[in-house]
Amino acid sequence: MSVRVLLNPNAGSADASDALRDAIHASPNAELYVCRSAGDATRLAAEALADGCGLVVAAGGDGTINEVVNGLAGDFGAATLGVIPLGTGNDLARTLALPEDPLEAFQTAMQGARRSLDVIRVRSDGETAYALNVCAGGFTGEVNEVMTDELKETWGPLAYLIGAVKALPDLEGYETKIAWDDGPFEVIDALNIVVANGRTAAGGKPAAPRANPEDGLLDVVVIRNGSGAELAALAAIALTGDYHESGLVVHERVRSLRVEARPGMWFNVDGELFTKEPVYFEVLPGALRVAVGPEYTPEPPEPGVAG
């Protein structure tokens, strides 16, 4: 089986990259390709498919993994995805229980168990993207005025919730319409929407802690608008674990989801900004084989237990 490793040299430490390069070069079946700029990993993954590679390994952060997944979208069933987590968040790697050590993760990619994971397909305004971990949207307007890069990096999909608390008392409601499984639209006064396959974002922060990446369903977590006290209480819970029990939280498992919002709600796909137009999410059950760690389990941890 031919193996192609796509390395983002800007992720992780130089020492880890050097040792990893040596290990890859020492493997008789592996070829190393370096991603120099945005979009390289997508292009190189598509080329690996065309060349008949059986294993394509993303060595980098969650953004690199997302690029590789989109490169494999031409035929998800043709190759296995391996992951060497070199980023700062490494959220998909957490759900997959992959080793933190790059050399151990490389061996896991080469020899570890394979599981068929669901893929999220996202469509909007004629564009299509794919995700393995989390897509998230939050309202614009007043919250954008208090959003900072630090807030986004720290809280990821929950940044809009935290930002909403900061924006009070000037916060205004935004009309959001959601259609579950192609049913009729339901109007929800939503502050934040998470569509998830994985469980964490932004370096281990809970995004959809009850998600199962193999159940053929999307975990959707909607944060409703509320009073300042209610949002503050929810934010405090969100910092430490499972926040599904809050009355402001709607949690659904669906095969598809359509979202329209006024004004437009920006959504990212595995952290990459994608659209503020009406957007449609659907699950592709078991579409992609992925190498997983020895402690991986598709079943989420019990509520309140770190995973």
pLDDT at 99: 96
For 159-168, write each residue's pLDDT tens digit.
656 555 565 5
Q: Which residue has the higher pLDDT, 172 or 209?
A: 209
Buried b (16+ CB within 10 A) or exposed e, 172-206: eebebbbbbeeeeeeebebbbbbbbbbbbbbbebb
Q: Which residues contact 269 (CB under 8 A, 6 or more apart)?
A: 66, 120, 122, 129, 130, 131, 135
Q: At residue 306, does pLDDT exceed 80?
A: no
pLDDT at 174: 61
pLDDT at 140: 37
> How far apart, in whole angstroms, are the C-alpha atoms of residue 269 and residue 29?
32
Going from the N-terminus, what domains does the chain have, and what CATH number goes with each?
3-111 (3.40.50.10330), 130-285 (2.60.200.40)
Q: How many CA atoms lie within 13 A of 4 on its CB side?
A: 24
Please state the rounded mean pLDDT for residues 47-63.
95
Please state the rounded mean pLDDT for residues 31-38.
94
Q: 10 Å Cβ neighbour count for 115?
A: 18
Minimum mean pLDDT among 69-73, 187-191, 202-206, 221-225: which range? 202-206
Q: At residue 11, does pLDDT exceed 60?
A: yes
pLDDT at 111: 96
Please state the rounded mean pLDDT for residues 225-235.
61
pLDDT at 60: 94
- Identify the band that residue 27 occupies on the pLDDT scale cut at 50, 70 and 90: very high
Q: Hey, which of 8-12, 84-88, 214-218, 223-227 has the most confident mean pLDDT?
A: 214-218
Percent of the chain's residues with pLDDT above 90: 57
- Identify the band that residue 307 occupies on the pLDDT scale cut at 50, 70 and 90: very low
Is the backbone peptide bond immediately before 278 cis, with ω within 30 degrees of 0?
A: no
For 123-142, write each residue's pLDDT tens digit.
999 999 999 999 988 753 34
pLDDT at 227: 62
Q: At residue 9, does pLDDT exceed 70?
A: yes
Please state the rounded mean pLDDT for residues 101-127.
97
Percent of the chain's residues with pLDDT above 70: 77
Q: How many CA atoms lie within 13 A of 307 on its CB side?
A: 26
Q: At residue 264, does pLDDT exceed 90?
A: no
Minimum mean pLDDT among 34-43, 163-172, 180-189: which range? 163-172
Please state the rounded mean pLDDT for residues 1-27.
86
Q: What value does the mean pLDDT of the chain take?
A: 84
Please state the rounded mean pLDDT for residues 198-219.
88
pLDDT at 191: 79
